[in-house]
Amino acid sequence: MRLVKENVPDQIGRWLMNSRPTLVLAVSKDALGANITTIAWYSPVVDLPFTLGFSLHNRSYSKELLVSHGKGSFNILGVAFIDSITGPGFTTGRDRDKAALFNIPVERVDDIPIVSSAFASILFDVVDSVNLGRSTWFTVSPTRTMAHEEAHRDGILTLSKPEWQPVHHLGEHEYVVMNNVHDWQKHTSYPSPNKRP
């Protein structure tokens, strides 16, 4: 491989460092329903027992709720729901219902909110958290995984429907959808009325 020593778009670095699908985090607001936010960058931490890690800004309402409740869900939605994926990350749910604002259907499983339109959801417990100054790093352990019956076969996600193609965050308002190894489409999403240019 020949390395070209010149500046390349920052999105390439972001894509290489985060090829995982963008997640929608749902955390209980008790009687007020659920708070929804976007988690673009996260990482597996340990294989056995399987744990994941991600961070939330310390001013985030979702961070407060996650510390208080100690559990939540990750939800994977496809490109058909791009505004439901991206919008909650640009808007606070402290004084509003983001599920209603972005038309995100929510239900509860084991008293944990999940996004009904997700093709897969992972319920989790928080096992550790570390304050990093501006943000808090959470380590979570999945307690239950669910997927649409047509979205998997023999334990492998097949994503047989085009609208289930995962959305990947490149930074700012830029997202990419991988349909296969050689076919991708870039999307720009400004779903929040407070963040439109």
Torsion of CA 61, 77, 149, 162, to 10 degrees: 180
Q: How many CA atoms lie within 13 A of 167 on its CB side?
A: 30
Encode pLDDT of 136-176 as tens digits.
999 999 999 888 888 777 777 777 777 777 777 776 677 77
Per the DSSP assignment, residues forming a β-bridge with 62 are: none
Q: Per residue in 43-71, pLDDT tens?
A: 889 888 889 999 999 999 999 999 999 99
Instruction: Give me 70's structure tokens.
Output: 């100690």
18-41 pLDDT, tens digit each: 567 788 899 998 877 899 998 887
CA–CA separation, 165 and 159 (whole Å): 7
